[in-house]
Amino acid sequence: MLRPSASTPALVWTLALLSTVSYGALYYAQPLLAVATEQAFGWSRTHTGLAFTLALVVTAVLAPGVGRTLDRHGGRVLLTAGAVLGAAAFMVLAVSSGYVMFVAGWLLAGLAMSLTFYEAVFAVLAHQLSGPARRRASLTITLVAGLASTVFVPLTTVLLQSFGRQATLLGLSALLLIIGALVWKVLPDSFRASSVSSPLCRTGGFLAHHGLHPGADRDCRGRLATGAAAARVRIPST
C-alpha cells in the first residue's frame, strides 16, 4: 500500500482534477450544450435529453466490467483512456451533422463517464492509499470535485456566448486531453492490492485468498460499482 509521501499529494490532486473536469464537462455542461444544440439543429429537448439518458445508461451498464478491470489492472491506463474518450466524444459532437452521430457521441461520453467519475476514481484511490490517508484523500477529492458545477456552468456559458457550440465542444475536448496526459504522468503504472474497507469485500477477499470462492472479491467490487453508477441514472426533464 502507498504510504503518504511526496507523491501522494500529486496523486490526490490529479484524481481530484480528473473528477472535477469530467463531471464539469461531461455532466454539468450538458444542459447548456443541449440548448445550443437544439438551437443549431432545431431539435427538441426530448432529442437531446434522450441522448444524454442513453449515455447514463451506458455508464451504469459498464460499471461492473470497469470495476473488475480496475481491480485486476489498476487505473493508470483506464482513467487516462476515460479522459481521452471524453475528448473524442466532444470531437464527435462538434462535427456531428445528424441525430445518429449526435447520439453516438453521447454514447461514447457514457463510456468516458464510467471511467472517470467517482466510482472509478475512488476504486483507484483504494488501491493506492489506506487508513487515514485514504479518508483525507477522499474528502479532498469530494470537496474539489464538488466545485465542478460552480466552475463549468459559467465557463461553458461564456464559451458558448463568445465562441459558439463547436468551439466550446473542442475547447472542452482539449481540456479533457490535458487532464488525460496529467493522469498518465502522475498515476503509478504498477498495480497495488486494494484496501477496500467494506465488510462484504473483506469477506470476499478472505474467501478468494483461501480458494473458497475465487471470484468473491471481484464480484463485490462489481456490485458496489453497479449500485453507485445506477443510482446516478435519471431521465432529464423535457
Chain center to CA of 195: 21
pLDDT given at position 27: 97
pLDDT band, very low/low/confident/very high, at 56 (cuts 50, 70, 90):
very high
Q: Is the pLDDT of residue 3 over 70?
A: no
What does pTM read for this prediction?
A: 0.79
Q: How far is it, in rounded angstroms, from Cα 85 to Cα 30?
A: 16
Task: Provide the grid cell at 102.
Answer: 449526435
User: What kind and span of H or E run contains 34?
Assistant: helix 30-41
CATH homologous superfamily, domain 7-230:
MFS general substrate transporter like domains (1.20.1250.20)
Report pLDDT for 209: 45
Domain spans of the chain, in order of start: 7-230
Cβ count near 104 (within 10 Å):
16
Q: For the chain, what percentages of helix, strand and coil (3-state, to nearest 5) are there?
A: 80, 0, 20
Higher-confidence residue of 106 and 63: namely 106
Q: Is the pLDDT of residue 24 over 60?
A: yes
Cα 130 to Cα 214: distance, rounded to the nearest angstrom: 23
Q: Is 162 exposed, middle or buried (0-12, 13-18, 19+ CB in 10 A)?
A: exposed
pLDDT at 7 (0 to 100):
76
Does residue 169 register a pLDDT over 60?
Answer: yes
pLDDT, one tens digit per residue, over 70-103 is 988 889 999 999 999 999 999 999 999 999 999 9
Q: Are 193 and 126 in contact (CB under 8 A)?
A: no
Distance of CA 51 to the CA centre of its chain: 18
Cα 33 to Cα 24, 40, 187, 220: the distances in Å are: 12, 10, 31, 36
Who wins on pLDDT, 4 or 89? 89
Confidence tier at 219 by pLDDT (50, 70, 90): low
